[in-house]
Structure 1
């Protein structure tokens, strides 16, 4: 009797093809969201490696760091999906991903792809400062302290004087995070607004890649 591996019809293997191994190279600020989506959908053919979220404070370092991770892993996976947007790289990250034949998330930054790139662009909110779940959780480490506001509070007007509100783009329903975001708005002297985005285009793009 033939084994499962030899069961064919007209030369085609009848077994369901295993999904291609996919490596996700992500910003550390997206780790919780990516892992939540993997668990939700059972995408166990994906592996995740994260780069430090603090790279966003020096965006010129993002492209070489991502490139190094791609070249380090490209021979071990069928495909690689880079979970960054442009993120201040001025198009360099997209150009490098194109050169290396890997996919990059669409959009200028995470605020856009969480809300939906087209919807975000249509708002044209030039006087809004944004937080995500990650930034609400890490406000001091990624906003307050890097800008020196813990040491030089007089800089607050220089950095935030042209903003009129803080918009919290919430990925989850979390009262504690909402309270943190509201407190951040108060510290910055900005009106508070909350929008529930869920995972936005991140979920859409990951589902598309999972099905390829």
Structure 2
């Protein structure tokens, strides 16, 4: 049986824990992970260029390796998909991590009924202050909360793991935002399937 070709995973830093857990659980020794900073999501227009630079660096370091980009569109308006196509590298399907964790098809089916939902993943729950509260200026201007979140009715925590401490953090985040709280266990969703196909 031939060993799989080396695979370099170029991922958003917000996925690092989940990707490493999947690699370890499945013994995918041919996969190696490289992450870009998670805070690129605060400026999604910068993601395609950052991915292009990283792909060039990986190709210079490991010319024989295949590259799989572990980003969905993530607010780039299709530009990341165009960049990956030009570079000849594959990327994850879906609009964002909420969709592929939930399962892209299931997320799309629920979209009409969840138009009033704000989502958190395990990563965003752990880093709620840095990526939501402070990033949106709510620490300095709490009066902006109702303006920014007034059209939301609930916070849905899409949980990748069974972790009561994270559940409590997500519920506390919902309270801070003045939203009803729901939890949905997704596991790794389509991310697991996409990596298994490369295993």
Match of 1:63 among 22, 40, 48: 48
Q: Matches of 1:165 and 1:96 in 2, distance apart? A: 35
Match of 2:78 among 64, 74, 91: 91
Q: Matches of 1:200 and 1:74 in 2, distance apart? A: 29
What is the deviation of 1:131? 0.1
Q: Secondary structure at the match of 1:89?
A: coil
Q: Matches of 1:194 and 1:17 in 2, distance apart? A: 42
Q: Secondary structure at the match of 1:151?
A: coil
**Structure with the larger RCO, 1 or 2 (CA within 8 Å, 6+ apart):** 2
Q: Which residue of 2 aligns with 1:181?
A: 170
What is the deviation of 1:78? 2.7
Q: Secondary structure at the match of 1:209?
A: coil
Match of 2:102 among 115, 128, 131: 115
Q: Which residue of 2 aligns with 1:192?
A: 181
Q: Matches of 2:167 and 2:52 in 1, distance apart? A: 35
Match of 1:127 among 100, 116, 124: 116
Q: Secondary structure at the match of 1:23?
A: strand
Q: Secondary structure at the match of 2:197?
A: helix
Q: Which residue of 1 aligns with 2:38?
A: 53
What is the deviation of 1:17? 1.6
With normalisation by structure 2, the TM-score equals 0.96
What is the deviation of 1:18? 1.9
Superposed CA RMSD: 0.7
Aligned residues: 195
Q: Which residue of 2 aligns with 1:159?
A: 148
Q: Matches of 1:61 and 1:40 in 2, distance apart? A: 32
What is the deviation of 1:209? 1.7
**Unaligned residue ranges in structure 1 (runs of 5+):** 1-15
Q: Which residue of 1 aligns with 2:10?
A: 25
With normalisation by structure 1, the TM-score equals 0.91
What is the deviation of 1:101? 1.1
**Unaligned residue ranges in structure 2 (runs of 5+):** none
Q: Which residue of 2 aligns with 1:138?
A: 127
Q: Matches of 1:207 and 1:87 in 2, distance apart? A: 22
Q: Secondary structure at the match of 1:17?
A: coil
Q: Matches of 1:78 and 1:47 in 2, distance apart? A: 10
What is the deviation of 1:167? 0.1
4+ residue stretches of structure 1 with deviation over 2 A?
Answer: none
